[in-house]
Amino acid sequence: MPTDYVRIFDTTLRDGEQSPGATMTSAEKFEVARALARLGVDVIEAGFPAASPDDLEAVRRIAAEVGNPTDGSPVPVICGLARTTRSDIDKAWEAVQPAAHPRIHTFLATSEIHMQHKLKMTRAQVVERVREMVTYARSLCEDVEFSPEDAGRSDPLFLYEVLAVAIECGATTLNIPDTVGYTLPDEFGALIAGIIANTPGIQNCVVSVHCHNDLGLATANTLAGLMAGARQPEVTINGIGERAGNTALEEVVMALQTRRPIYHLNTGIDSAQITRISKLVSNYTGIAVQPNKAIVGANAFAHEAGIHQDGLLKNQQTYEIMRPESVGASQTKLVLGKHSGRHALKMRLASLGYDLEEAELDQVFVRFKALADRKKLITDADLEALISDELYQPRELFSLDGLQVACGTMGMPTATVRLRDPAGLMHVQAAVGTGPVDAAYKAIDAVVAEHVSLLEFVVHAVTEGIDALGEVTVRIQSQNGVHTLDAQKEIDQPRTFGGYGADTDIVVASAKAYLAALNKLLVATGKYGPAEKASMEFVTQ
């Protein structure tokens, strides 16, 4: 690789999915992995195979299919995370082995606070464990990444020693995580520079950086690490992840692209696809992107101040340092309406990056025609919302078959829902609430009989106009707990799940989103069949 090339390591499917409520099903993870490959990501950390049988199977499918493309597209490295134990490393290797370019990523903490209170290990024991497990991982896989967890708070001299052992035992990539987002950019840059200058054999390895955003410095720290000589940033779409999140892929990529004269670094990312994948991940996780989020927020290229508008009309560069089109934020005004046929729809979806099977196209076409009867102009944003709502929903246990509401200033808001259960039986239930959405949710609760709390409810219009398609994202929390794996002991603890729905009727979209989140919860518990998420290990780096 050229010395000015930066490998983009995306961990949306692993660290990003650990964000509360962001758990994705196997099918959703596969679709995100396909989108990441199209985006041009060099390494996809597809999951933590030891977390559950479903996670292992999801990583294995991504390795077999996304890691072996048949269309001549670039082949990403498929990576699986493992603790420094033989069983974890064996599961990671089992999952990533089908990929053309597999990688095992193993980690062990090196900070005093982690070694003393979490690991209960001495420095000598940590060094010996690294020696043993990196050697074992390398005996299985030629590409091994090692991370000293909480490196940002570790003794640099001890880091040099541990990293030198990892290199000696066959590690090909050394990742330096600021696990708790503690360091400042100058500190982190100096840490990376010190590691490169003082670790024997590091010239034969790629130095990676993995920064968290607890102080809002993840992107700044990552860029400082790259400036100091690191050549692999570990990032997530929309910056999702543990606590305050991870470094956002879109921010790092566009900083390097916009300020290339400063960094002199290049990536293989097709930045025009950034907005599309941002929306996909937001829909799947149920985590809405804040309007003022850099690069992908709804207001990132919006201008209301008169002075700004005047400047833009005279020269776009007065108030925009990058063009919306460079991240795929522009909206094509190609007219699709009720007279458009399947071929026109198929071609438009293909241009947006959606290669649908005939059965999937038929499914979307029915919804497209129904929408076109209510909305004159169908935009790209409308189509993407339809795709997300129709094809990329979780396994449907309970489905909405009908909804009717009565509300207003007179009387009490009432909703009647008709739901189809997993056995195919119909249930009709009415309820009264503080508003139509509350009433609909209470009616759904009465049928599904699952105790949850609504944590977040977000609604927005996909496009302008009174006939706009509405999108709703929700996040719910289980009140009874979902079986999880914490450290080495089994416990029950509340889990959060996200849901997404789209419709021209915002109450219908709200009901769809709520049902999508409930279906994820029911799948996770295994109440109506094998659990897709029987257990989940929450791992930090």
DSSP track, 426-474: EEEEEEE-SSHHHHHHHHHHHHH---EEEEEEEEEESSSSTTPPEEEEE
What percentage of the chain reaches a pLDDT higher than 90?
58
Q: What is the pLDDT of residues 209-244, one digit of tens each?
A: 999 999 999 999 999 999 999 999 999 999 999 999
Q: Which of 232, 228, 297 is nearest to 41 (CA)?
A: 232
Q: What is the pLDDT of residues 406-465, one digit of tens each?
A: 998 877 899 999 999 998 999 999 999 999 999 999 999 999 999 899 998 988 777 666
What percentage of the chain reaches a pLDDT higher than 70?
88
pLDDT-derived band of residue 268, with 50, 70 and 90 as boundaries? Answer: very high
Tell me: pLDDT of 130 over 60.
yes
Query: Rounded to whole angstroms, how far apart are CA atoms 265 and 8?
Result: 12
Q: What is the pLDDT of residue 353?
A: 67
Query: Rounded to whole angstroms, how far apart are CA atoms 288 and 384?
Result: 15
Q: What is the pLDDT of residues 370-404, one digit of tens each?
A: 877 776 667 776 777 777 666 655 667 899 999 99
Q: What angle do CA 64, 66, 69 make, to 5 degrees?
A: 95
> What mean pLDDT comes out for the span 461-479?
78
Q: What is the pLDDT of residue 15?
A: 94
Question: Who contacts 305 (Cβ-Cβ below 8 Å, separation ≥6)?
Answer: none
Q: What is the pLDDT of residues 305-331, one digit of tens each?
A: 556 656 756 777 777 788 888 888 865
**173 strand-pairing partners:** 145, 206
Q: Round to the nearest angstrom and report the end-to-end CA distance of the chain.
A: 26
Q: Kindly provide the b/e burial profile for residues 273-303, where b requires at least 16 CB atoms within 10 angstroms of the residue's own CB.
A: bbbbbbbbbbbbbbbbbeeebebbbeebbeb
375 alpha carbon, distance to own chain's centre: 31
Task: Please answer whether residues 28 and 392 qualify as being in contact, where contact means their C-beta atoms are separated by less than 8 angstroms.
Answer: yes
Q: At what angle do helices 185-198 and 218-227 cross, to 10 degrees?
A: 30
Q: Average pLDDT, whole number, for the chain?
A: 87
The two tokens of residue 255 are 């900083």
The two tokens of residue 343 are 């071929």
Task: Please answer whether residues 499 and 515 qualify as being in contact, where contact means their C-beta atoms are separated by less than 8 angstroms.
Answer: yes
Identify the residue whose tokens are 């077999």. Answer: 64
**80 strand-pairing partners:** 47, 104
Q: At what angle do helices 380-390 and 274-285 cross, to 10 degrees?
A: 40
CB atoms within 10 A of CB 403: 21
pLDDT-derived band of residue 536, with 50, 70 and 90 as boundaries? Answer: very low
Task: Please answer whether residues 37 and 273 qualify as being in contact, where contact means their C-beta atoms are separated by less than 8 angstroms.
Answer: no
Q: What is the pLDDT of residue 24?
A: 82
DSSP state of 203: G
Query: Rounded to whole angstroms, how far apart are CA atoms 121 and 127?
Result: 10
Q: What is the pLDDT of residues 168-198, one digit of tens each?
A: 999 999 999 999 999 999 999 999 999 999 9
**96 residue type, one letter:** V
Question: Where is pLDDT greater, at 393 or 126?
Answer: 126
Query: Rounded to whole angstroms, how far apart are CA atoms 503 and 190?
Result: 51
pLDDT-derived band of residue 28, with 50, 70 and 90 as boundaries? Answer: confident
Q: In angstroms, what CA-CA distances link 247 with 33, 179, 191, 236?
A: 18, 11, 18, 6
Q: What is the pLDDT of residue 488?
A: 36
Q: What is the pLDDT of residue 220?
A: 98
The phi-psi region of residue 531 (left if phi > 0; otherwise alpha if psi is between -120 and 50; otherwise beta) is beta
Task: Name which of 134-143, 264-273, 522-531 the model is least confident about.
Answer: 522-531
Q: What is the pLDDT of residue 394?
A: 61
